[in-house]
Amino acid sequence: MPEGGRARHNGAVTGRWSDGRRAPLPRLRGQVRTRTSRLRAGAWTIAQTAIAVGAAWAIARQIDDSPFFAPISAVISLVAMRGQRTTRAIELVLGVAVGIAVADVIVSALGTSTPVLMLVVALSMSAALLLGGGALLVSQAGVSAIFVATIERPAGLTPDRFIDALIGGAVALLVAQVLIPRDPVAQVMNAAHALAGQLTLALRETAAALTEVDLARARRALQVARATDPHLADLGDAIDVARETISVRPPVWRARQRLPLYAEALAALDHAVRNTRVLARRAVAAVRRANTAMPPEIAAAVSLLADAVDELVRHLDDPEAETSSRRLALEAASRATGVLECHHDLQTTALVAQVRSTAVDLLRGSGLSEDEATAALERALGVAQGSPSGADSR
């Protein structure tokens, strides 16, 4: 075998060509793993859709010989109601059915022509937007309108298509909300992790900015903190959706018992988000005015708050697991307060106050009441003073 061929062969075995380039096999394996993971992630949606389509067709066949719009409505309704509250899902299902009925009436009155097709598609997509649907629902509405306008209609104006659409939507609602719903707590967990990730990033960036006296990084931390509100809203919505999800599966009943933990933590995390935003703003002001390096204990305390957020989410995921969230929050407050023995300037005092306020919020998020959190903080600091929660938390 030629030397170059041997090198190429050996390179393929080791994962690299003779010129150092990576062989395509490992890359192909990575792509296979990625796509397999995507398939596993979408398996639940595929199962829901397949069952809803089959059930809608079978039920509608008892009324209509060719219930074409029953499975179409089932698919559109599943897309529309994903992640929605039960009452909102019902509204969307009715909207899909009414939209098909209106398109059917228009086509029956005006016939099938290019202008009518354009009108029906425009009206259907506009109605989907008015219902608050996303891009996928809007496009699905346009597709259903095309079917209404172009597929041969039965003689005269009949309610068959409207009834088919109602059947499809009702079956989709039954499948997605009652028979095989997604685990409602899983959605809450994902939202909680997204919020914690954003909050942790803001705290770590703030700590780094204080350590490096980096104004650009401090401003970046403030931007991250300000971008946390949507994640907080997502968590609140996920909790509401989970509360309204009806399920006959005992495993989901057991999972829903954890919802109160997330609901109680939500209010505390709301305050933690606000205090983190103020902390980041104080850091910007402190770095801007700093002539020398900031006290390192302040940055260390902020980093401990980030660690406490990570531990808090782990505690919410598994309430029985050991967690150091409270210890980390108290240690952050203690280390920050210790700085005041040597530094009495306004900027340092403001930073310490915000660290302590955020620590109290995280203590409350771990399940302590406001009085219990305050008492724990006072014991950790070894003083008998009022709660620091009166610091600026806007």
Instruction: For tokens 């829901």, name the residue.
Output: 48
- Mean pLDDT, rounded, of the chain: 79
From CA 121, how far away is CA 56, in angstroms rounded? 24
Cβ 209 vs Cβ 217: under 8 Å: yes
* Amino acid at position 271, single letter: H
Helix (H, G, I), strand (E, B) or coil at 153: coil
Q: What is the pLDDT of residues 258-297, one digit of tens each?
A: 778 888 889 899 999 999 999 999 999 988 887 666 788 9
From CA 31, how far away is CA 50, in angstroms rounded? 26
CATH 1.20.58.220 describes domain 184-390: yes
Residues of the chain with CATH 1.20.58.220: 184-390
Cβ 335 vs Cβ 300: under 8 Å: yes
Q: What's residue 341's pLDDT?
A: 85
Element spanning 59, H or E: helix 24-60
* Amino acid at position 199, single letter: L
Q: What is the pLDDT of residues 102-157, one digit of tens each?
A: 888 888 888 888 888 899 888 888 887 887 766 766 777 787 788 778 876 665 66
Helices (H), 318-388: 325-338, 346-365, 370-381
Cα-based torsion angle of the residue sequence 271, 275, 280, 283 in order, rounded to the nearest 10 degrees: -170
In 10 A of CB 22, how many CB atoms? 11
pTM of the model: 0.62
- Both tokens of 321, joined, read 């697991």
